[in-house]
């Protein structure tokens, strides 16, 4: 599937790590304009720029956000640094697409939102799953009433990553834990389908460093529907998701948060629709194209994931962390 055409902004990438490589590859797949890369190491920035055909490499983040040829900055560093770097870019007049989780805490997310509003710029969470074609179709099916009354949303994001205490996912000083890295996906999905939760219950297992290695949540929503999620960094599960209604359900195949397939199935087992994704690359280009379209239209917010919802989701993650006893260095 070929994504829709892009208005054509000039992108800079801040932090040339693993997720940035996937994003840069998808920018190139979609023909978007990657012009600059910024890193704390000029050698790293130069190598990345050469690999992905960016014209300029900067040996500091300040140089990148000061680059007059950059319109929008994709922030791909670990999440404890997102707020500071997003604000730095915004204060230099750049729109920002910030990797999920948007920030470490809701207060930080609100601070980014305030600066973006003051400057009249787009600050958008890079929850790329929401922009994928199969998720667009799922929202259409739910809105059409095909499922009847939606009663339950359930999803897992479980991977076998590392038990090494020094690994980023286990380091509290780097915002480690399954919840913010992995749990953000199913929790954001529940928000997408069911809206803001009225109540949250959570339980977790903490690892040796105090970071969460497994987290389970139950949320109740305005409609009365429930959502459940399981996230884990030390065990790999099916990574599927389901939207269950009174008339039918949607079964989303593994890996549900990537471009994948799904089926709409009635209560008697009749398959109403089968959907198979056919996209180029990983699919991160869809969020970038959406950002470009918003900016071209003079908008400073995402229609699919508004900044107010991003902040509110961070509030839910804060609440879950209180329940499971995870605190980051420097938190009061």
Catalytic positions, written as ranges: 100
How far does Cα 313 stand from its chain's mean position? 11
Torsions phi, psi of 331, nearest 5? -75, 140
Residues 6+ apart with CB under 8 A from 150: 142, 193, 194, 223, 225, 243, 244, 245
Contact 217, 178 (CB under 8 A): no
């Amino acid at each position: 599937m070929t994504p829709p055409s892009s208005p054509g902004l000039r992108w800079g990438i801040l932090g040339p790590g693993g997720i940035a490589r996937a994003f840069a590859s998808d920018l190139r797949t979609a023909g978007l304009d990657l012009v600059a890369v910024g890193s704390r190491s000029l050698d790293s920035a130069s190598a990345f720029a050469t690999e992905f055909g960016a014209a300029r490499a900067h040996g500091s983040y300040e140089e990148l956000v000061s680059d007059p040829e950059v319109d929008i900055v994709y922030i791909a560093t670990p999440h404890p640094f997102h707020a500071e770097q997003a604000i730095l870019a915004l204060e230099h007049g750049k729109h920002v697409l910030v990797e999920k989780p948007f920030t470490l805490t809701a207060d930080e997310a609100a601070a980014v939102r305030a600066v973006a509003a003051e400057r009249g710029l787009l600050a958008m969470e890079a929850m790329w799953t929401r922009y994928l074609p199969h998720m667009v179709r799922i929202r259409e099916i739910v809105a059409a009433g095909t499922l009847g009354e939606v009663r339950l949303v359930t999803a897992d994001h479980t991977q076998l990553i590392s038990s090494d205490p020094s690994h980023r996912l286990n380091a509290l000083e780097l915002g480690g834990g399954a919840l913010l890295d992995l749990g953000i996906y199913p929790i954001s999905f529940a928000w997408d389908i069911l809206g803001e939760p009225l109540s949250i219950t959570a339980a977790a297992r903490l690892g040796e460093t105090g970071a969460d290695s497994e987290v389970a949540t139950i949320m109740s929503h305005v409609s009365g529907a429930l959502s459940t999620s399981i996230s884990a960094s030390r065990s790999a599960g099916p990574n599927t998701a389901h939207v269950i209604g009174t008339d039918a359900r949607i079964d989303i195949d593994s890996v549900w948060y990537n471009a994948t397939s799904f089926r709409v199935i009635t209560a008697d087992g009749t398959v109403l629709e089968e959907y198979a994704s056919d996209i180029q690359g990983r699919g991160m280009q869809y969020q970038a194209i959406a950002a470009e379209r918003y900016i071209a239209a003079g908008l400073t917010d995402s229609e699919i994931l508004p900044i107010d919802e991003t902040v509110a989701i961070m509030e839910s993650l804060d609440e879950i962390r209180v329940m499971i006893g995870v605190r980051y260095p420097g938190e009061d």
